[in-house]
A and B are shown apart, each in its own frame.
Chain A
Amino acid sequence: MSAASHSNGDTPGLPLDGRHAPWIGEGRDTDVVLSSRVRLARNIAGFRFAGLADVDDRRSVLEIVRDRVRPALVPSQGDDPGRAAWLDLHASPRSVRDLLVERHLISPQHARGRKVPPSAGGQDPRALLLELPSERRSIMVNEEDHLRIQVIEPGLALGEAAEAIDALDDAIESCVDYAYHPRFGYLTACTTNVGTGIRCSVMLHLPGLRLLGEIDKVRRAAADMSLAIRGFWGEDSDNPGEFYQLSNQTTLGSSEALLLESLLSTIVPRIIEYERLARRRLLETRRSITEDTVFRALGTLRHARRLAAAEAMQRLSELRLGVALGLVDGLSLTDSTRLTLLVQPEHLRRAVGPITDEEIRSARAAFLREQLAGCAEGGA
C-alpha cells in the first residue's frame, strides 16, 4: 500500500493526457459502448448531509474519509498497487478542478463548491480521493452526499464495475458507519437516490440512430423502463456529437443486481443491436451521404484553422463513425474517443501550453491537424 503523499494545490502525478482516462480504452462492444460506470451515494451516520452541515461538520467528514477510507481504496497487494491520491479541492486551482470535470471525475457542482462566508474560513471543505494511475475508482467527498463512490470501466463492463464497487463499499463500511434505515435503505440527501444509492450507466455512441432519426425511439424505450438518457457532454440541447449516457433512474425497490440485470439483459444489448443495424443500413442504403458526412468531418478536422469545442466534438463523432464503418484508415476507435477528451479546453491547455480564450480555437485546430496527420480515407 502506497498512499500518495498528501497533495494540495497543484497535482503532481495527475496524468495530463488522455492515456489513463478510465472511460477510454479497449473493451467489450466499444464500437457502441464507450464505457460503463457505477456510482454509489453514501453518507456517514451522525452527521447532517453535506448541504446543510456547517463547515465544521464538513471538515470532520473530510478528516474521517481521509484517515479511515483512504487506506481502503488501494489495498496493499499486487506488483503495481497504485496509490490513492487525495485532492483537497477547496485548495486546488480552478484549472485542476476544470480538468477533473472534463475527465468526468468530479461534477461541475463539486468543482464550484458552496459559498462559505469568510468568517467560517471562506472555503467549502471538499475533496476527491482518486486511485492513480488508473483513475478507475474514485470518491467525491462532501458533494451532495458525504461519499459519492465511482468505478469506471472501458467498454460494456457494468457487471465488473458493480462487483468492484460492491467490494470497495464493503471495505469502506468496515471503517465507517453508514447512515442506513431498514425501510429506506442507504440514506441520501436527495430522495431520488435513497435505497441502493446506486446509479449504473453506460456511455453510448449512437451516430447511426441519430442519422436515421431514430434517437427518439431509444429515448421512449428508456423512459418506459425508468431509465434516463442524457448527453454525455452536456444537456440535450448542448451535447455535441452523438455521445449519450443511459442510466437507471429509480434506486428504491429493486436490488442492485436486479437493476443491473435489467440494463444488461434487455435494453443495452437491444440498443447495441439497433445502432449496429443502423450503421449497416447507412452503408447499404445511403452510402454516398454517409461517406460525405465522414469525409467532410475528416477534411474539416485535418484542415480547419479555427475550431470551437462543439464543432470539433461533432466532427470527431462523425469521424469515429467512419472508423467504426471501416471508411477511415490510420486511427483507432480508442484514439478517436481520446481526441474528444483532449480537445476540451483544460486538456488542450495541458497539451499545448498556456493559451488565452482567444487563442483556443486556433490551438484546437492546430492540435487536431497534428493528431490526424496520418489519418486518411480508407479502402473499404
Chain B
Amino acid sequence: MKCDHCDKEATVEEVLLVGDSYVYKHMCESCASEVGLLKSGAGGRSEPTPSDSACPRCGMTFQAFRESKRLGCPACYDAFTDRLGPVLSRAHDGATHHTGKVPKRLLDAALQDRADAGPSETREAIARVLGQARERADKIERVAEQLAAAVRSERFEQAALLRDELERLRSAVQSHTHADPSPDEAG
C-alpha cells in the first residue's frame, strides 16, 4: 500500500475513531515522522507501545492473532476488545457490534429481570438486546453512502440496485413504525 502523502510504500498505519467509524491512514516512515506519528530517527512511536499482553485464558497475544488471523479462545474477545474494533470494522463494513440473534437463555434472563416492570419496559429491554432499530438506521446510512459513491463514479447499475435496497429498508422502517408507535420493535 502506498503512503497517503507521497509515493513511497506505507509502513505505518494510523487508526482514528471519527464519530462512530474508523478512519485509516497509511504513511511511510518519513511522512509519519513529519506529522509526529513517529519519533524521527529513533524509529520508535511517540507514545509508549502498549505491551503485547496475552489473553489471560489461553495465552494468545495480539501479535500472534495478527499473524494467524485466528483468536485462541472466547476470552480473547475481552482481552483484545479495544484493538479488535478496527479489525472488525474493516471486515464488517464499519460494524463493530452484534445486532442479530441472541441465545434464548439470555433473552429469558432479560425477561426475567423485567418481570416486575411494565410491559413497555419489558419490550424495551428485549429490543435493546436485539438492537433491531439501531441496526436498520445504521444500515440505511451505509447503503445511502454506497449509493452516493456509485452515482459519483457512474456505476449506474449498482446505483439502481442500491436505490432499490434503500427504498426497501426505508419502507420497512415506515411500515413498522406505522404499525406500532415504538420503533424499537421494528424487524
Partner of A255, one of B57, B100, B158: B100
B58 at the interface (CB under 8 A from A): yes
Q: Is the CB of B135 within 8 A of A254?
A: yes
What total of A-B pairs shows CB separation below 8 Å? 150
Complex Cα distance A178/B95, Å? Answer: 22
Mark interface residues in B86-104 (1 if CB within 8 Å of A CB, else 0). Answer: 0110011111111111111
A327 at the interface (CB under 8 A from B): no
B152 at the interface (CB under 8 A from A): no
A228 at the interface (CB under 8 A from B): no
Q: Is the CB of A225 within 8 A of B91?
A: no
Mark interface residues in A241-275 (1 if CB within 8 Å of B CB, else 0). Answer: 00000000011111111100110011100100000
Q: Which residues of B contact A47 (CB under 8 A)?
A: 73
B168's closest neighbor in chain A, by CB?
A: A265
Mark interface residues in B74-95 (1 if CB within 8 Å of A CB, else 0). Answer: 1001100100100110011111
B38 at the interface (CB under 8 A from A): no
Q: Is the CB of A190 within 8 A of B69?
A: yes
Looking at the complex, which of B24-32, B119-127, B159-167 is the stretch in contact with chain A?
A: B159-167
Partner of B132, one of A52, A183, A250, A255: A255
Within 8 A of B (CB), among A154-180: 166, 169-170, 173-174, 178-180
Q: Is the CB of A250 within 8 A of B95?
A: yes
Count of chain A residues with Cβ under 8 Å from any Cβ of B?
A: 52
Contact A255:B73 (CB < 8 A) given known A224-B155, A224-B161, A250-B92: no
Query: Within the complex, what minimum Cβ distance (angstroms) separates A273 from chain B?
Result: 12
Q: Which residues of A contact B95 (CB under 8 A)?
A: 195, 250, 252-254
Most-contacted residue by chain B among A178, A196, A225 (CB, 10 A): A225
Complex Cα distance A73/B98, Å? Answer: 27
Contact A195:B84 (CB < 8 A) given known A190-B70, A221-B161: no
Q: Is the CB of B138 within 8 A of A253?
A: yes
Instruction: Name the prevailing secondary structure of the B interface residues.
Output: helix
Q: Is the CB of B77 within 8 A of A266?
A: no
B160's closest neighbor in chain A, by CB?
A: A270
Query: Within the complex, what minimum Cβ distance (angstroms) separates A236 from chain B?
Result: 21
Q: Is the CB of B98 within 8 A of A52?
A: no
Complex Cα distance A169/B104, Å? Answer: 10
Query: Within the complex, what minimum Cβ distance (angstroms) separates B74 from chain A?
Result: 4
Q: Is the CB of A266 within 8 A of B98?
A: no
Q: Is the CB of B139 within 8 A of A43?
A: no
Mark interface residues in A13-52 (1 if CB within 8 Å of B CB, else 0). Answer: 0000000000000000000000000000001010111011
A47's closest neighbor in chain B, by CB?
A: B73
Q: Is the CB of B161 within 8 A of A266?
A: yes
B157 at the interface (CB under 8 A from A): yes
Q: Is the CB of B72 within 8 A of A49?
A: yes
A60 at the interface (CB under 8 A from B): no
Query: Within the complex, what minimum Cβ distance (angstroms) separates B17 from chain A?
Result: 16
Q: Which residues of A contact B139 (CB under 8 A)?
A: 253-254, 258
Q: Is the CB of B91 within 8 A of A192?
A: yes
B60 at the interface (CB under 8 A from A): yes
B187 at the interface (CB under 8 A from A): yes
Q: Which residues of A contact B78 (CB under 8 A)?
A: 181
Contact A48:B93 (CB < 8 A) given known A43-B74, A195-B100, A262-B165: no
A278 at the interface (CB under 8 A from B): no
B6 at the interface (CB under 8 A from A): no
A187's closest neighbor in chain B, by CB?
A: B74
Q: Is the CB of A173 within 8 A of B98?
A: no
Q: Is the CB of B70 within 8 A of A251?
A: no
Q: Which residues of B contact A115 (CB under 8 A)?
A: none
A328 at the interface (CB under 8 A from B): no
Q: Is the CB of A270 within 8 A of B161?
A: yes
Most-contacted residue by chain A among B91, B102, B162 (CB, 10 A): B91
A195's closest neighbor in chain B, by CB?
A: B98
Complex Cα distance A178/B165, Å? Answer: 33
Complex Cα distance A263/B169, Å? Answer: 13
B106 at the interface (CB under 8 A from A): yes
Q: Which residues of A contact B77 (CB under 8 A)?
A: 181, 184, 187, 194
Query: Within the complex, what minimum Cβ distance (angstroms) separates A165 from chain B?
Result: 11
Partner of A253, one of B87, B92, B129: B92
Mark interface residues in A198-229 (1 if CB within 8 Å of B CB, else 0). Answer: 10000000000000000001001100111000
**Known interface pairs A253-B139, A254-B99; 18 further A-B residue pairs with C-beta atoms within 8 A, sorted by A's residue number:** A48-B57, A51-B72, A52-B73, A178-B103, A182-B98, A191-B71, A192-B92, A195-B95, A220-B155, A220-B158, A221-B161, A226-B93, A250-B93, A251-B92, A252-B98, A253-B94, A255-B101, A265-B168
The 4 A-B residue pairs whose C-beta atoms are closest, nearest first, are: A253-B95, A185-B98, A179-B74, A252-B92
18 A-B pairs within 8 Å (CB atoms) are namely A48-B57, A48-B58, A48-B72, A144-B70, A173-B103, A180-B102, A186-B98, A194-B98, A221-B157, A221-B161, A224-B161, A253-B97, A253-B135, A255-B187, A256-B100, A256-B101, A266-B161, A266-B168
Residue numbers of A with Cβ under 8 A of B are 43, 45, 47-49, 51-52, 144, 166, 169-170, 173-174, 178-187, 189-192, 194-196, 198, 217, 220-221, 224-226, 250-258, 261-262, 265-267, 270
